[in-house]
Structure 1
């Protein structure tokens, strides 16, 4: 326990005293800014202060750079020095906008910087502008445009070679080729970049990109070897950003190779470095990769949890409102730190103020939660009501469609029955005329066998009497109305369409034989249908089917 307390004590002391030089330098620069005798001196120290502050606080760095820009803009006729500084400031603003994924604003700032540099005819600075625009289009994944600007930058740099800048541009050109799946061109650029970098630390950048090509082409062990060499160099230089990037690459490769424990080892170390050194911009990628590793392990519960954490950090980092609030809180904290006193009264007042602030924030959070809950409930109820209305409308439309379909079927049946009646009338007329002629023949033909004619006359008479009943169908067919069919369908839903049609014909007092002729079926088929209708309607043995049908009218 004592050992643990000692470790914590020395860690805190080391952190506090480790910050003193940086804070002292910032205070010194602020003093020089306040005591500057003219604008050129003030701009000079503001730019130095910005470069120092932005390493730990991007929000404050942006505010300082905007203050510097304001000073230059207030000068009626700025000289070349101020114009050159203004171009650098606009480039820096473009960088800030890129980090916030505001690429349109970023491009606007960078184009303004390029315009100033072209007016000054400063070739070295123009080359830097082209390089920064190439970076912007690379972030937007417009790799052809990024290559165009990188090549323009290199063309200018060849006349005034700055080896470090030359190496950086070739390296980024290689990255654009790499993302365009032109690995040979990318490898060529990386090797040129490595040759131009003057320091071993600089060479790690193209080496890291060469390792990425080895990774994508399946040469995992060669990629791991390069990444480990770079990691050792980054640790010796204490460059935490590069340490985080390399450890993420190693975690991804080991995960792809199925070495899940090694992958977890590297991703845990990456998460430790990111949290320890405040590199929150990497947290979404770290948790996304962590989710990917556990997904490949089949541990979907943890994979889902880490993915939700990834979404949380991603949304929070790119929320501009939250970023401004964080910057404001950091400014307030620094102001309080500079103005704090050792008196007990000040400490008590500070504690009371913090408590009031927490209470107020808690109350505001409660109001927000309640408001959100009410809004969600209201939206849910509205969705439910709208869904019910929609379902009712759809059900009504379906019923209307079914009813219209049934009416059409009934009209078709009526049309067929009318056609049958018309045909029957023609047959009846023919048989009547034929019977009349036979009677005349019998009357005047003494030599003809009278008994044969008499039998033929009897049969024809019977047939005419039977078929004459069909003539009444034409008068009654219109009674096959929608109301009767709807009553059958509602009261006896088990009846089929064919059975309902037979009920409609029975309702017109047609016999089984007549129904058989109209429907063009056998006598047995009609009787079987009548039996099924009786059964489905639940009629008792002594109850007449025709009577039950007529009672429905």
Structure 2
């Protein structure tokens, strides 16, 4: 159903504009009911374009802004660019060039973000360039007009596809009129004249503009007859195709000037009168159709600004409330964190200080005890060592005396010699007891640990362990105990077996560590 509306609307666009407008409205309502907003926007744009061509500018203006409102809600960028292009044309008709250029540029800035391979996007881009070229041509700025016409050609060259709606014929027609403005009349005619058949076949409504161009050129060349002919043809086509009605007053004005040149003042007056009537109707401030547009009663912008301000105020109030809540939360959270950090720091410092103080105290006590113990052990062990060495010396002396007495046994009194030998043995035993007493006083825990670990050791083996602890060699042990060096070795060997040590275990280290071992 919708496609039939559109086909018929497009067919009647330049034959029966009123019917075409009605069909576009039906198509728009149909798509709105169906929820197809994208197609509804396209219907509004086509309808607004048709309104503009029939000089219904107020309705065209309303339609474009309504389409823009829907395009914004749908975030349809292509539609937005298309609407801004239409608004640019609308403002250019009212010769509000600055506003028109602004809308064309806005349309172009949106379009440049879109995919140019899409036909609609390409058509909008070319239409923007073409519109700007036309706008600057009306301002007699041929340099800028040519620049934008070149852009039109460039888009076609880059894409390799000519956009529907604007193409070579239109660009050539504009270029021809630019040549006319540059007083290159023959070049202008050479470019324009071959286009009549093409426009008559593909877009007869454009003949209004085309014939107006030729009327201006022939008037400048002094060929008033041809100029009049083309002006009249232009007026005829505005009525035939119901298109470009905004140009009609300008064509009457040009005819009036032409008749003045020809001396036909009655016709000049009549055409001037028609021009004034149409100009007042289409553009006068007293026209009910245009009063709305000229006063810029922009419902869309008002509504949008109202919505924007309302959303902004709501957002601002929400943000302010959130800021206050967040500020209070931040203060509480920051205060709590700072308090906990301070408390934690103080507690940590106190515990660390107490721990360090206790550790230093224990360390100091331990060091003092170790130092005291080591000093006592060192002194007493030195005494023991000195005592042992003295005992060794006495032993050597006594042995020497003993040997001498034995050698002289033949001559001295044997009984006396026997007493000497007996006293020497008693002296040796007494020396050992003195040494053992001193050793026990210094190393009182040694015998305790030794007997706990090895209760089966004899007194002699215990003596050997004590001498080994003092690092006595076998030679020194033999002299102290009054035995041979071989016997001292044998005693050490038997002791290793009784202690259950293998060959890899050092006997001296084992005995030295007995006090630190547990049973």
TM range (shorter): 0.3 to 0.5
| Structure of higher CA gyration radius | 2
TM-score (norm 1): 0.42
TM-score (norm 2): 0.44
